[in-house]
Amino acid sequence: MARDEIEQITGLTTNNLDAYWMPFTANRQFKKDPRLLVKAKDMHYTSADGRQILDGTAGLWCCNAGHGRQKIVEAVQKQVAELDYAPAFQMAHPKSFELAARLAALMPDPLNHVFYTNSGSESVETALKMALAYHKARGEGSRTRLIGRERGYHGVNFGGISVGGMVANRKQFGAMLAGVDHMRHTHGIAGNEFSKGVPKNGIEYAEDLMRLIQLHDPSTIAAVIVEPVAGSAGVILPPEGYLKRLREICDEHGILLIFDEVITGFGRLGTPFGVDYFDVIPDLVTTAKGLTSGVVPMGAVFASSKVYDAFMTGPDHLIELFHGYTYSAHPLACAAALATLDVYAEEELLTRGAKMAEYWQEALHSLRDCPHVIDIRNIGLIGAVELEPIAGEPTKRAFTAFLKAYEKNILIRTTGDTIAMSPPLIISESEIDTLVGTLRDVLKSLD
Ligand code: PLP
């Protein structure tokens, strides 16, 4: 849609389009041809030019219950009128405790404690700081090293980009945290192309952790952080047995294991958390996004009793962890999260992905013969279609697909030359057909 048409419809002027410096966006391209969303209900956005856009990405992997859900909307409306804000330091409001107890009940033992943040990035910083402070509290202050993974995405703050491994997110920003090392990513292992679900090959990549332990000595390593399934880097699945092996190695060497479940949390894999899907229990779990179905910003870090208890020593009147945010446990976020958990429970959405996974998988893999497709990956309600890059112009082919898809009324996401999809967990079989069928037309139209 041309900008003058958008301006007519929305009353926007050139100046106020330019004032907004958009995140992770090609600003100049966008502002020449803006894509504005003005409403959302269930599986669809409404664009400024009045089209219904099928949401193939749950917003940014977050609107797991779909959009405009009445119960969540009403809970937030009621809350803002009743208690708009309460300080989170040395004070609290009842819903923060109610929510923590309900969240802890969703997680397996011993992940029984919840620390609130306002985003996935903040959850990551919180978990990394908890890991460092945990070892210090136990008299093992030499454990300061953090291990991440190539192509990992852990948000955009300094801790997260340090342990993360997406080059574009790091190279503009100079020095990272000191004392960080990375394992290899598990993408592109021979024989895993077009795998359905978790790929068979590559468990030996977990031995990278052993090599880093031998290099640095376990007495210097605090924690390892991985996404059980990497989303933002282009949907990278863990080889069969890989996460269990990481857990074993961490246990043998006194290293904390952190799962970054900002994407995999809250039903995305067809289980409440990746923890359940892979049957591996880390020491800390970072979440955000689906916690409130994207309605109000909120994150939560789950900590095991072992971690929490290590801090609960010393005189009672002393603060145990010098960390927190003005908006931790914000009343609107807590109200949104409680109502979201109700919707998840009433509609069994945290396990619905498992029921839909087979249909989703077959639909996605039907794109295998489309032009330029070099791989298709899926798990739960996540799907990725990887395209062969245009020689000398990486990312361009997939970005063109994204623009064409939007013109054809579906919202997909691209990262590098991979198209990623993660629809709201309420998606129906016929909506999967529409999403995949439209994507097929888009792929066939690409140069
Ligand atoms: N961690 C993971 C695994 C993510 O996928 C994301 C966002 O996509 C983040 C952290 C950062 O979350 P936020 O954008 O809410 O800061």
How far from 420 is each of 60, 85, 227, 348, 401, CA to CA, in Å?
Answer: 11, 36, 16, 24, 11
Rounded to an integer, what distance in angstroms lies between the CA atom of residue 373 and that of residue 193? 11
Residue nearest to atom 13 of ligand 1 (CA): 120
The secondary structure of the chain in percent helix, strand, coil, rounded to multiples of 5, reads: 40, 15, 40
Q: Is the CB of 227 under 6 A from ligand 1?
A: yes
Q: Is the CB of 124 under 6 A from ligand 1?
A: yes
pTM for the structure as a whole: 0.97
Pocket test for ligand 1, best of 24, 64, 117, 121 (most atoms within 8 A of CB): 121
CATH class (in words) of the domain with range 72-346 = alpha beta
The protein residue whose alpha carbon is closest to atom 1 in ligand 1 is: 154
Identify which of 327, 343, 337, 326 has the alpha carbon closest to the alpha carbon of residue 296: 337
Cβ atoms of 164 and 254 closer than 8 Å? no
Q: What is the pLDDT along the chain (447 residues), one digit of tens a residue?
A: 666 666 676 666 656 799 999 999 999 999 999 999 999 999 999 999 999 999 999 999 999 999 999 999 999 999 999 999 999 999 999 999 999 999 999 999 999 999 999 999 999 999 999 999 999 999 999 999 999 999 999 999 999 999 999 999 999 999 999 999 999 999 999 999 999 999 999 999 999 999 999 999 999 999 999 999 999 999 999 999 999 999 999 999 999 999 999 999 999 999 999 999 999 999 999 999 999 999 999 999 999 999 999 999 999 999 999 999 999 999 999 999 999 999 999 999 999 999 999 999 999 999 999 999 999 999 999 999 999 999 999 999 999 999 999 999 999 999 999 999 999 999 999 999 999 999 999 999 999
Taking the CA atoms of residue 306, residue 310, residue 315 and residue 317 in that order, the dihedral angle to the nearest 10 degrees is: -70
* In contact, 285 and 301? CB cutoff 8 Å: yes
CA distance 364 to 421: 10
Residue spans in the chain of domains classed CATH 3.40.640.10: 72-346
What dotted CATH number matches 35-65+348-444? 3.90.1150.10
Residue ranges matching CATH 3.90.1150.10 in the chain: 35-65+348-444
Pairing of strands 284-287, 382-387: unpaired
